[in-house]
Structure 1
Amino acid sequence: MSVFQIDEFLDTLGEEAFMDANSLRKALAPKLKDMLQSGHAEAERFLIRKKNGIACAQRLSAQMDQIIHIAYVAIVERLYKRANPSSSERLAIVATGGYGRDTLAPGSDVDLLFLLPYKQTDWSEGIIETMLYLLWDLKLKVGHATRSVDDCINEAKGDITIRTSLLEARFLFGNKELFEEMESRFQADIVRSTAAEFVEAKLKERDERIVRVGASRYLVEPNVKDGKGGLRDLHTLFWIVKYVYGTADMEELIKLGMMEEEARIAERCTEFLWRVRCHMHFAVGRAEERLTFDLQPIIAKRMGYKGRSGLSSVERFMKAYFLIAKDVGDLTAALCAILESQQTKKKPLLNRIVAPLKRRKKNILGEDDLDFVVDNDRINVISGAFSRDQMNLIKLFWLSSRHNLPIHPDAKRQASVHAKEIGPALRRSKEANRLFLDILTSKNFPEVVLRAMNEAGVLGRFVPEFSRVVAMMQFNMYHHYTVDEHLLRCIGVISEIEHGKLGHEHPVAHSIFKTLHHRRALYVAAFLHDIAKGRPEDHSEGGARIAQKLCPRFGLSPSETDTVVWLVRYHLLMSDTAQRRDLSDPMTIKNFASVVQTMERLRLLLILTVADIKAVGHGVWTGWKGELLRSLYYETEIALGGGETMKIGQRIDAARRTLRDALPEWSEDNFKIYADRHSKAYWTTVEPARQVKHALMMSAMEERGDTVLTTVETDHFRGVTELFVISPDHPRLLTIITGACTAAGANIVDAKIFTTNDGTALDTIVISRAFDRDEDEMRRGQRIAQTIEKGLKGQVRIADFVKSRKPSSHKAAQAAKTFRLGAEVVIDNALASRQTVLEVSGLDRPGLLYDLTSTIGRLNLNIASAHIATYGEKAVDAFYVTDLLGTKIVHPSRQNTIRKALMEVFADEHYKK
C-alpha cells in the first residue's frame, strides 16, 4: 500500500478519528484487525499452495510492515503532526529480532526499537504509547525498546543480546538519518574490534540453550525454534556470519570461502524449518514451537507426507525433519572451521568426554598415516586423502578413537562429501571392517566417534542396514530419541558401565563386566539390537537375521556371531520377564533359564538390558526396574548352577532361621505358630528385612485387636514409595487398593500379593514418587494409606471415592487423541505353576488399573499378584489369577467370558474420549 493509498484509507475514518489517541484507536483498530486476519488467511493458503516456508514468513513480515506503516502515518503524520519539528522531535521505527530479518511466523512476537536522537520528549512518548496500545488492540505480542543512538551503542558494548538485536535491525519508517547514524557507529565502535568475542559468546549461548531445551537434535518431540538443529541454530549462524563478514548474502559468502553446496543446504534447511514452524502456528492458532506427538500427524498431513516403505506418514515427516536438523549441525561445524582458519574463533577445547593426552611434538599418528595431520589438537586430512584411498574414510575415525582426538570440521566435511562414494569393495575389505570393529568396541568411549561417523554419513554408507534407521523416529511416547541415536546411546551406556562410571547405580552389571568372555559381541549386539526397526516383521527376528549376515563381515568368530544373534533375538526377554512376570513363581525362572541356558548369556543380557532401558530417554530407567532385573538375575543364576544352589526345603529352613534370629524376644511357640502361617513362596521370595517388618506389624496389629494395618515407606534410590497393607483377604482387596491410588493420582508400578495359610493378605503396592523430598512423599503416601484403610473397613465406598476424585490427565488425553492402539488380552496357563496369567495391553489412562481389577473382581477371580509395565502411552498389565477354589482357568468358555469383559474396559465411553 503506497503512501497515497494509506492517506485515502485513513480519510475513510473521518476527521473525528484524529481528535485524540483513544478516538484513533477505536476507529483504526477494527480495520487493521480485519486486514491482519485476512492477510494471515491468505498467507496460510499461499503456504499450502506454494510449499515455501521462507516466502510465507516474508509475506507475513511484509504484511506487518504495512500495518505499522498505516499506524505510523496515522499517529505521526496526522495525530501528532509537527509543522516545524525541532531536532529532538525525530523518531525512527526499527524492526529487530526475526522481524528485523524480514521473516515473521504467524504467532511470533513483533520486536520494535523506537530510536530517538536524545532522551524521550512528550511528543515521542505520546507517539510510542499510542503506537503500542494500537498494536496491543490487535492482540499482537510486541517486544519493544525505546533508546537514543547513544543508549544503543553504550548498552550494546556490555550486552550481547542488545548487540545481536542491533545487528539484525531493519529500518521501517521515520527519520532514516537516525538509523544510519546508529548503524555506522555500531559498525565503527563495536563490530570492527569484537568479532572473536561475539563468535565465542554466541556459540556459548547456543550451548547453554541446547542444554536447557534438550541436548540431542534427535529428541522425538523437538523444539523447532530453540532445539538443537532448529531455526535458532541457523539464526546463530546468520548472526556470526553477518558480524564477521558484514553480510549474510549467500553469493558474497561463497566468494569468502563457503562452499556452494553448503550455501544450498543452508537455504534448504531454512526453508524447511520455516515451513514447519508456520504450519505449526497456523494449525494451533498461536505460537507453538514444540513439535509434540499430537501435532506431528497434523503437520505431516499439511505438508503432504504419505505412508511408504513400512513407515507411516508421521514417521516419514519426522525423518525428514531430523535429517534437516543433522544438516544444520553440519553447517555449524563447517562455519566454525572457516572462522577458525581465519583466526576469528579461539582454539577449541578437546572433547569434554575424552580426557586429553600429553602429546609429544613428533607426529603421534606415525609414518604410516601420512594422509592425516594433527591440526589444532584435532585430526585433519591433507588434500585429496579420501580420493586417493577410500580406506581413509574409515581410518579417520579409527585414528580419532585410537588417539582420543576429536576430528577437525574440515576433515568431517570432506568425509561427508566423499561418503557417498563408499561401495561394496570397501564394505568387503577385511582391513576396513577390522578398523570399524576396533572403533565399535574401543575402550575410548566409542559412542563419541560413532556419532561423528553417523553425522558425516560414513556409518550409514559403510553399514547400509544402519542407514535405514538413521533419523527414524518411532511414533510413540516411550522412545525419546530416533533409532540411530538410541543405538549410539546404548553403546555409550555400556562403555560407562565398563569404565565404572555407573558402578553405584548398576553395581551388578559393573561387577560382572570383567568376567565376560564375549565383550566384543556385547558391543556389536548393542549396535544391532534395533537395526530392523521400521520393517514389517518383528524387529528382534529381523535384527537377528541382519546380525547373522554382518557379524562375519565385521570379523567376529562363529562363537561371537552366535552370541550376537542370540542377544539381538532376545534383547527384550529379560526386561519383559522382570517387569511383567511373577519372579516368585519357579515357573517364571524355569522358563527364562531355559531360553538363556548359560551364565555368559545371562551376564551379557543383563548388561544389554540395562543399557537398552537407560538409552530410551531421561527418566525411563528407575531403581525399581533395577531391583527387578537384579532379582531375576540372581534367581536365574541359581537355576543355571552359577550361584548358590540349595533345595527349596533348605532355603525355607534357612529363611525361617534368619527370621527367628531377628526376633529373639519371641517364644518358640509363638514363632512356630507365626511361621507356619506362611506359604513356601513367601519364604523363598520375600527378603529377610521385609519378613521382619511383616512379623512385627502383624504382631502389633493383633495385640491392638485391629484387622487392618497400613504403613508407608519411601525409597529415594529406587524412585518409589511402598504401601504395605495387612488385611483379611477377599476378592476385591486389590480393587480397593488400586481405587485409592487412582483417586490420589498415584501411578502403581508393581503389586506383590501374599496370603497366609489362614487367610490374611500381605500386600505390597509400589507407586512412583511424586515429590523429591521424603517428607512430602510420606505425607502423600499416608493420605493414600488412610483411604485404603477406610475402604477396607467400609467407611468409604471406594467406587464413589474414585468417581469423585479421579484426576484428569493431559498426558492421557493427548495419548487418547493422538495414538491408536488396539487392546489385547492374552490368557496363558503355561507361564505359572499355580495360576492363570492374564496379560492385558492397550492405551494407558488414569484409572485403568482400577477398572481392570474391578472387572477381575466381578468375574470372581482371585488376584495372586499383579505386574504393571508402562511403555509411554501403552500399558501392559499381567495378573496371576485363580478361580474362587484356587485353581487355574482352563475351560474355553470361561476364558472367553474373561477376555470379553476385559476388552470392554478399553471400549468404555470415557476411555474413547
Structure 2
Amino acid sequence: MTGSAADGDAAAPSAGRDAGAIRQALAATDAALAARFDSGEDVDRLLRARADAVDAQIRAAWRASVAAGAPLALFAVGGYGRGELFPQSDIDLLVLAEAEAQALYGDALARFFARLWDAGLPLGHAVRSAAQCAEAAAADITVLTAMLEARPLEADAAALHALQAAIAPARAWPAREFFLAKREELRLRHARYGDTADNLEPNLKEGPGGLRDVQTLRWMALRIVGTGDLESLVAIGQFGADELATLERERRTLSRLRFGLHLVAGRREERLRFDHQKRLAERLGHVDDADNLAVEQMMQGFYRSAALVLRIGERLLQRFEEQIEGEAPPLPLDDAFELRRGYLAARDPAWPRDAFEVFALFATWAAHDEVRGLHSRTARALAESLARVPAFQQAEPALRERFLALLRGPHPVHALERMARLGVLGRWIPAFARVSGRMQFDLFHVYTVDQHTLAVLRNLARFASGVADERFSIAHEVWPRLRKPELLLLAGLFHDIAKGRGGDHSELGAEDARIFCGTLGLSQADAALVEWLVRHHLLMSVTAQKQDIADPEVIHRFAARVADRERLDHLYLLTCADIAGTSPKLWNAWKDRLLADLYTATRLALRRGLEHPVAAAERAAETRDTARAMLRALGVADDEIDALYARMPETGFERGRPDQVAWQAASLRDVAPGETRVRVRALGGQGGAHAGALEVFVHSPDRDGLFAAIVATLDRLGLAIQQARVLDGPRGTIFDTFEVVPVDPRCPPAPQEVERGLEGALAGPLDRIRPARRALPRHLRHFRIAPQVGFDATANGRTLLSLVCTDRPGLLADVAQVIRDQALRVHDARIATFGERAEDVFQITDGRDRALDESQQQALRDALLACLDGEAA
C-alpha cells in the first residue's frame, strides 16, 4: 500500500491538478501522437507513449486527491494495464484497499475519480479489497482477465503481491478451467461475426483474427505458463520464432489500423465502418491505382493479417490444450499420417519432403473428414514448406494428377477450402493468391473474392449432397445429371479469379481456366466446357433478372447461346451457387423460381430443337389447357372456366405460368363487375430463405394512378417488389401481378394482412396514397451512383424506360409516383437490385396507350432526376 491511514482524509492535499489542466495536457499529447502517427512512427511506441502520458496525469491527480501514506494501492488494469492505450480506449483502474480504508478514504477517492471524469477521461474503475478481488475474479472470468494484467501506478511490491495472491489459480480459475472458458468465449465471439474476418465492416478488436484474439493467447499464456510474454514460449518450445515474428507483425498492422481508426472517427470506434474506410486509407498513405482503390488496398491488408492471426492462433490453442491435457497415444491412419488427440498429424518428423506429400495430406484429410483439424506441428511444418509447392504450370504431370484426384475424391470442396486457408491453393494457383483478401468497395459483394469463391464451392457441395434444400427448388435434381462434377468445381474456382486486374474479369478468368485445364491434361471438350462457364457465368443471372423470361423470343435467344443441355445444367447450378454466395440476403424465393423457370423453359426449347421456336399462340394454348386441368381438379366446370377465361387478358396466357393462370381465374369466381379483388399466396417455402416471399394479384377497374397506389401501399406494408406485370384486361380492368419479398425477413407480413391492406387502400381515393418518407440508411450514403435515365422503343408500341441509380427504401414507390404525376401508365416492370445499385426497367405509355414522344421523355427524365437529386440532397 502507499502508506498508513492515521490521518485519514484530513491529510489529503488541498491543491492539485485540476480537470482543465489534465484535459489540456492530454489534448496536446494526442495532437503530438497523431502527428507522429502520420509520419509513420512505430505504433507500439505510440501506444506506450500515450499510456505514459495518461499515467503521469493519473498519478498527479491521485497525489492531489489522496493523502500520502494512505493504505491504498492504485493499479492500471485491462488494456491500460498492458501499457497499450489507443486514442479513444477506456482507462480502467483498480484501487486495492481493505474495507476500513475504503470507508475512511471514500471522499478522497470520490475527488480523485471526479477529477478524471471532469477531465473527460473514459474511465472505468473498481475499489476492492483483496478478498473482494478474489470473489469477483472467481465469479466472472472477464474481471479476472482484466486483473491478470494489473500494472502498479501507485502501489508497492506488497500490494502487487496481495493482488496476485488473490487471483492466483488456486483461488480462481485454474489453468484448465481458464483455458476451456476462454476458448469457448473465443468461439462464441467468432460466431457473432459469422466466423469470418471477411466482413465489409470488420471489427478490428473483437472480430475473428482481430486484436482480441492476440490478447486471448497472451491471457492463456499468463494462466497456463505463467507469463504473458509470448517470447518466453519460444524458449520452452511452445512457439516457433517464425510464428512469433508473424504474429507480432500482424498485431502491429492491426494496431496501426485501430490507432488510425480512432483518429479519423474522433471517438471510440472499433468497427471499420464505411464512414471511415476511405479517410483511414488516405491517412495510411494508400493511393488509388488503375486496378485497386486505396480503400481496397487497405482492406486487403487487413483481411490477410486477420487470416494469419487466425491460422497461428489455432496452432497455439492446440499446444495449450496438449500442455493441459497431456499427449494421447497416436492413432495410425496409414503409413504417412496419424491422429493425435483427434488432429491429423504427419508421422515423419521430416514431413513434408515434397509437394506430393503435401497433396497427400489433403487427400487423407478428405478421406477422414471427421478429424478435429490439422495438428499444430504439422500445420507449422506445412507453413514452413509452402515454397516447395510449385505453381501448377511448373509442376510435374504426376502432381497435377494428384490435384485432379483431390477434385474427384471424397469431400473435394473441403479439400479446396483447407488448401485455401493454409496457403497451399494460392501457391498452386498464383491467380488465386492475388484475389485472396481482395474486397470490392460496394454493397453487392459482402465477402472478399476468395471467400466468395469458397462460398460458391460450398453451395455446390450442398447440391452434390443429394439432400433437397427448399432454397434451391430443383438443384438437387439437376446435380445427378452432371457427367463430371469436378468440371463445375473448376468453373466455380475460376469464375471470379480475374477480379481486380482491369478489363472483363469473365474473359480474363476464362483464359486462366483454359490454360489451367489444358496444363492439367483435361480433354479438349472438358476444358472448353469450363472455359465457357467462366466466360458466361453471368449470362443466366442477367437474362433472368433483366429480361422477360415469359417471352418465347427471350428463351429462344438464351437457348441459342447456351446451345446444349450439358452447358445448361452446369450454368444453372453455377448461377444459383454464385448468387447465393455473394450475400446471405441476396438469394430469395423469387430468384429461385426465376432461375428454375428459365432453366425449365430453356431445357424444353433445347429438347424441341432451336429450329422449332415456340410461337406465342402455341404457348397460350398449352397454358390454357394445363390451367383448365388444374381448375377442373378444384371442381370448376368447363363452362365456368370458359367464362373466367373470357374475363382475362390474352397476354396472361402467353406469358403466365399455368398454375398462376389457374390461381388468378379461381380468384375471379365470385367477383362482381367493378369490384376490386386482391389475392396473395406464398411464393416459396414457408421457412428459411423463402419465408415471407409472396405473389400478389390485383384485379380492379382501371384508374389513373392505380399502379403508383399499389406500389406505395406494398412499400408501406414492408414489402420490396422484385417484379411487376401490369396487364390490361377486358372491359377496362387490370390484372397486375407483383412478386415481393419482405424488407425485414424477421417479421414478414402474412398474406391475409397484405390482402386486407391493399383492398382497404384501393377502396378509397387514390390521391391520398403517397409514398412513405424515409431517411437514407447510413451505409448507402457512401455509395452514391449518378442516376441514369434511358428510353427505347419496344416492338409492341410502348416506351421502355430504364433507370439506374442508388437503391434506397421506397425508391420504386417514388418512381411510380413520378410516373403517375406525369400522367403516364405502367404496363410492365422489372426490378433488379445489386447491393447499392438499382437497375429498373418499365414499359410505359401516355394516357392513350401511345409511346412517349421526345418532349414527354424529357419531362419524365427531368422529373425523375429531380426526385433522385432531392433525395441525395
Output the TM-score relative to the length of structure 1.
0.85
2:364 corresponds to: 399
User: Against the structure 1 CA distance between its residues 188 and 729, is the aligned structure 2 distance closer, same or farther, given a 3 Å change threshold?
Assistant: closer
- CA distance in structure 2 between the aligned counterparts of 1:731 and 1:549, rounded to whole angstroms: 59
User: Against the structure 1 CA distance between its residues 126 and 569, is the aligned structure 2 distance closer, same or farther, given a 3 Å change threshold?
Assistant: same
Query: What runs of 5+ residues in structure 2 fail to find an aligned partner?
Result: 3-8
- CA distance in structure 2 between the aligned counterparts of 1:20 and 1:616, rounded to whole angstroms: 67
Q: 1:332 is matched by which residue type in structure 2?
A: G
**Conserved 8 A contact 2:386-2:424:** yes
Map 1:405-424 to 2 at 5 A: 405=371, 406-423=373-390
- CA distance in structure 2 between the aligned counterparts of 1:820 and 1:179, rounded to whole angstroms: 56
Map 1:301-450 to 2 at 5 A: 301-308=282-289, 310-340=291-321, 343-344=323-324, 363-366=332-335, 369=336, 372-381=337-346, 385=350, 388-404=353-369, 405=371, 406-423=373-390, 427-444=394-411, 446-450=412-416
Map 1:857-868 to 2 at 5 A: 857=820, 862-868=825-831
1:141 corresponds to: 122
Describe the superposition over 1:19-42 as per-residue Cα deviations: whole angstroms up to 9, x where unpaired: 9999989x8222222223232222
User: Against the structure 1 CA distance between its residues 144 and 347, is the aligned structure 2 distance closer, same or farther, given a 3 Å change threshold?
Assistant: farther
User: Against the structure 1 CA distance between its residues 541 and 861, is the aligned structure 2 distance closer, same or farther, given a 3 Å change threshold?
Assistant: farther
1:7 corresponds to: none
2:79 corresponds to: 98
User: Against the structure 1 CA distance between its residues 305 and 585, is the aligned structure 2 distance closer, same or farther, given a 3 Å change threshold?
Assistant: same
Question: 1:50 Cα deviation (Å)?
Answer: 3.0
- CA distance in structure 2 between the aligned counterparts of 1:887 and 1:442, rounded to whole angstroms: 61
Judge which range, 775-784 or 108-117, deviates more: 775-784
Question: 1:384 Cα deviation (Å)?
Answer: 6.7
Question: 1:585 Cα deviation (Å)?
Answer: 1.7
1:10 corresponds to: none
User: Against the structure 1 CA distance between its residues 36 and 887, is the aligned structure 2 distance closer, same or farther, given a 3 Å change threshold?
Assistant: same
1:241 corresponds to: 221
Are 1:819 and 2:783 matched, yes or no?
Answer: yes
Describe the superposition over 1:496-536 as per-residue Cα deviations: whole angstroms up to 9, x where unpaired: 12113553332310012112113111111111111111121
User: Against the structure 1 CA distance between its residues 767 and 572, is the aligned structure 2 distance closer, same or farther, given a 3 Å change threshold?
Assistant: same
Q: 1:577 is matched by which residue type in structure 2?
A: T
- CA distance in structure 2 between the aligned counterparts of 1:509 and 1:425, rounded to whole angstroms: 32
**Conserved 8 A contact 1:711-1:785:** no
**Conserved 8 A contact 1:584-1:681:** no
Are 1:658 and 2:620 matched, yes or no?
Answer: no
Q: 1:207 is matched by which residue type in structure 2?
A: R
1:910 corresponds to: 870
User: Against the structure 1 CA distance between its residues 899 and 515, is the aligned structure 2 distance closer, same or farther, given a 3 Å change threshold?
Assistant: farther
2:656 is matched with which residue: 676, 686, 691? 686
2:432 is matched with which residue: 455, 466, 481? 466
3-state DSSP of counterpart to 1:95: strand
- CA distance in structure 2 between the aligned counterparts of 1:332 and 1:377, rounded to whole angstroms: 18
Judge which range, 659-668 or 469-478, deviates more: 659-668
Describe the superposition over 1:327-353 as per-residue Cα deviations: whole angstroms up to 9, x where unpaired: 111220231343355x325789xxxxx
Identity rate of aligned residues, in percent? 30
**Conserved 8 A contact 2:201-2:272:** yes
**Conserved 8 A contact 1:864-1:879:** yes
Describe the superposition over 1:446-481 as per-residue Cα deviations: whole angstroms up to 9, x where unpaired: 333323222322111110111111110111112221
Judge which range, 426-435 or 641-650, deviates more: 641-650
User: Against the structure 1 CA distance between its residues 268 and 454, is the aligned structure 2 distance closer, same or farther, given a 3 Å change threshold?
Assistant: same
1:543 corresponds to: 509
Describe the superposition over 1:571-607 as per-residue Cα deviations: whole angstroms up to 9, x where unpaired: 1122222222222222221222121222222221121
User: Against the structure 1 CA distance between its residues 448 and 780, is the aligned structure 2 distance closer, same or farther, given a 3 Å change threshold?
Assistant: same
Q: 1:272 is matched by which residue type in structure 2?
A: T
**Conserved 8 A contact 2:205-2:270:** yes
Judge which range, 260-269 or 544-553, deviates more: 260-269
Describe the superposition over 1:869-888 as per-residue Cα deviations: whole angstroms up to 9, x where unpaired: 21111111122345666577
**Conserved 8 A contact 2:807-2:837:** yes
2:234 corresponds to: 254
1:201 is matched with which residue: 152, 169, 181? 181
- CA distance in structure 2 between the aligned counterparts of 1:680 and 1:867, rounded to whole angstroms: 20
Q: 1:206 is matched by which residue type in structure 2?
A: L
- CA distance in structure 1 between the aligned counterparts of 2:326 and 2:393, rounded to whole angstroms: 37
2:159 corresponds to: 178
User: Against the structure 1 CA distance between its residues 588 and 757, is the aligned structure 2 distance closer, same or farther, given a 3 Å change threshold?
Assistant: farther
Question: 1:234 Cα deviation (Å)?
Answer: 0.7
Question: 1:754 Cα deviation (Å)?
Answer: 2.3
Are 1:214 and 2:194 matched, yes or no?
Answer: yes
Q: 2:832 is matched by which residue type in structure 1?
A: A
Describe the superposition over 1:414-460 as per-residue Cα deviations: whole angstroms up to 9, x where unpaired: 2222213433587432222222223344432x333323222322111
Describe the superposition over 1:91-112 as per-residue Cα deviations: whole angstroms up to 9, x where unpaired: 1121111111111222222222
User: Against the structure 1 CA distance between its residues 829 and 74, is the aligned structure 2 distance closer, same or farther, given a 3 Å change threshold?
Assistant: same
Are 1:674 and 2:674 matched, yes or no?
Answer: no
- CA distance in structure 1 between the aligned counterparts of 2:413 and 2:314, rounded to whole angstroms: 19
2:548 is matched with which residue: 571, 582, 601? 582
1:757 corresponds to: 730
1:720 corresponds to: 693
Question: 1:656 Cα deviation (Å)?
Answer: 5.1
1:513 is matched with which residue: 468, 476, 479? 479
User: Against the structure 1 CA distance between its residues 202 and 664, is the aligned structure 2 distance closer, same or farther, given a 3 Å change threshold?
Assistant: closer
Are 1:30 and 2:32 matched, yes or no?
Answer: no
Judge which range, 28-37 or 590-599, deviates more: 28-37
3-state DSSP of counterpart to 1:388: coil
User: Against the structure 1 CA distance between its residues 74 and 553, is the aligned structure 2 distance closer, same or farther, given a 3 Å change threshold?
Assistant: same
User: Against the structure 1 CA distance between its residues 127 and 534, is the aligned structure 2 distance closer, same or farther, given a 3 Å change threshold?
Assistant: same
Are 1:841 and 2:804 matched, yes or no?
Answer: yes
User: Against the structure 1 CA distance between its residues 858 and 545, is the aligned structure 2 distance closer, same or farther, given a 3 Å change threshold?
Assistant: farther
User: Against the structure 1 CA distance between its residues 880 and 604, is the aligned structure 2 distance closer, same or farther, given a 3 Å change threshold?
Assistant: farther
Are 1:599 and 2:565 matched, yes or no?
Answer: yes
**Conserved 8 A contact 1:447-1:489:** no
How many residues were matched structurally? 853
Judge which range, 41-50 or 690-699, deviates more: 690-699
3-state DSSP of counterpart to 1:203: helix
User: Against the structure 1 CA distance between its residues 143 and 364, is the aligned structure 2 distance closer, same or farther, given a 3 Å change threshold?
Assistant: same
2:720 corresponds to: 747
1:873 is matched with which residue: 821, 836, 843? 836
Q: 1:602 is matched by which residue type in structure 2?
A: L
**Conserved 8 A contact 2:221-2:230:** no
- CA distance in structure 1 between the aligned counterparts of 2:175 and 2:206, rounded to whole angstroms: 24
Query: What runs of 5+ residues in structure 1 fail to find an aligned partner?
Result: 4-17, 349-358
3-state DSSP of counterpart to 2:105: helix
- CA distance in structure 1 between the aligned counterparts of 2:374 and 2:828, rounded to whole angstroms: 54
- CA distance in structure 2 between the aligned counterparts of 1:362 and 1:260, rounded to whole angstroms: 29
- CA distance in structure 2 between the aligned counterparts of 1:71 and 1:171, rounded to whole angstroms: 15
3-state DSSP of counterpart to 1:50: coil
Question: 1:841 Cα deviation (Å)?
Answer: 1.9
**Conserved 8 A contact 1:115-1:148:** yes
Question: 1:905 Cα deviation (Å)?
Answer: 5.3
Map 1:2-151 to 2 at 5 A: 28-77=18-67, 90-118=71-99, 121-151=102-132
1:557 corresponds to: 523
Judge which range, 309-318 or 639-648, deviates more: 639-648
3-state DSSP of counterpart to 2:815: helix
**Conserved 8 A contact 2:392-2:428:** no
3-state DSSP of counterpart to 1:640: helix
1:165 corresponds to: 146
Describe the superposition over 1:277-335 as per-residue Cα deviations: whole angstroms up to 9, x where unpaired: 12212212211111122321111011111123511101111111111101111220231
**Conserved 8 A contact 2:190-2:207:** yes
3-state DSSP of counterpart to 1:761: strand
- CA distance in structure 1 between the aligned counterparts of 2:486 and 2:833, rounded to whole angstroms: 32
- CA distance in structure 1 between the aligned counterparts of 2:15 and 2:693, rounded to whole angstroms: 62
